[in-house]
Amino acid sequence: MAYSIPDIRRIRSYFLRLPLATRLLVLVLTAFYIAVCIRPSLEQWGALIPQEINLTTLYRLNTFPLLHKSLPHYLLNTAALLPLLERFESDHGTLVTIILFTGAFGYIPGGAYALLERYVFHLNSSALGASVWVFLLLASESIKTYRANPTFKILDVLIPTWTTPLIFLLVISFLVPHTSFLGHLCGAATGYAWGLGYIRFLAPGERVLRWIEGKLDLLGRIPHYVSVDQKTYGRYGVLPTTAAPARVGSMHEGILAGGNGVPLVPVPAVASERTRLGP
């Protein structure tokens, strides 16, 4: 049986097309992993330890997803996070992605985990790793999928598509030792809340984002930047056409004519439109 070798050019093209915030976050994850290898005490400094959370250590709510215990831990989490984060940024824009992943998407699941561990279960288990973001994004995507395709079938049993992240969570908890079931569950709950629209208010309004992007010309100045208007104007904005509009020939001929009025091709007349980049 012949095995196909992945096309290196396609892999390279995928990484070259990654949007800005996704690149930055993967770079930060890599930098923190290297820093922990050089200075292991950073893990204790940034991990989410419920009994250590107070007003002076709230930074742990945002640093714990950036730290990993080992190379396999880092590689698996980064590989799982990369396509999910790329899709999120493509849907919501670079500014929203940066704001949420440096703020609410850290302190909401992290704060919920710390409160439950400390005051409900009376435990002090530390948590770290980007898997909390993986389950957050999986849950958010599952809500989108549920709206388009509410169920899938396994052995004639209809299963709601929104439960897929919870199934993954249970499987990983059984198969992978030393994983934080509660941490993953808090991440998934945050993702469900985002997907259902309960915490969408945490993202800045589109009017504010458009003003910032227009004032700083972020789309024109920064490569791989995703505009907040990607849903309307394509993933990376609009490129206006520069060619002069073609003149339309007689209606009974239905042909487009060039600048000198010479017929070019026998096609129906079409309305001109702006060229768009992205899906």
pLDDT in tens, 129-159: 999 999 999 999 999 999 999 888 888 888 8
Phi, psi for residue 276 in degrees, rounded to 5: -120, 145
State yes or no: pLDDT of 269 exceeds 50. no
Residue-wise pLDDT for 174-190, tens only, equals: 998 889 999 999 999 99
State yes or no: pLDDT of 241 exceeds 80. no
How far apart are alpha carbons 63 and 33 in whole angstroms? 12
Tokens representing 210? 């458009």
Considering only CA atoms, give the Rg of the chain: 24
CATH code for the structural domain at 8-203: 1.20.1540.10
pLDDT of residue 4: 62
Q: List the Cα angle 45/48/49 in 5-degree steps.
A: 85
How high is the mean pLDDT of the chain? 83
Tell me the residue type at 71: L
Q: List the Cα angle 23/24/26 in 5-degree steps.
A: 65
pLDDT of residue 3: 58
Percentage of the residues of the chain whose pLDDT score is greater than 90: 63
pLDDT of residue 11: 82
Binned at pLDDT 50, 70 and 90, residue 267 comes out as very low
State yes or no: pLDDT of 259 exceeds 50. no
pLDDT of residue 124: 92
Residue-wise pLDDT for 32-84, tens only, equals: 999 999 999 999 999 999 999 999 999 999 999 999 999 999 999 999 999 99
Looking at residues 165-174, what average pLDDT do you find? 94
pLDDT of residue 2: 53
Q: Which of 68, 73, 92, 184 is catalytic?
A: 184
Query: Would residue 142 show up in a list of annotated catalytic residues for this protein?
Result: no
How far apart are alpha carbons 199 and 87 in whole angstroms? 19
How far apart are alpha carbons 169 and 108 in whole angstroms? 19
pLDDT of residue 230: 63
Query: Would residue 122 show up in a list of annotated catalytic residues for this protein?
Result: no
pLDDT of residue 271: 42
Tell me the residue type at 144: K
Looking at residues 156-175, what average pLDDT do you find? 92
All structural domains of the chain with their residue ranges: 8-203, 207-276
Residue-wise pLDDT for 70-84, tens only, equals: 999 999 999 999 999
Q: Which of 131, 140, 180, 227 is catalytic?
A: 131
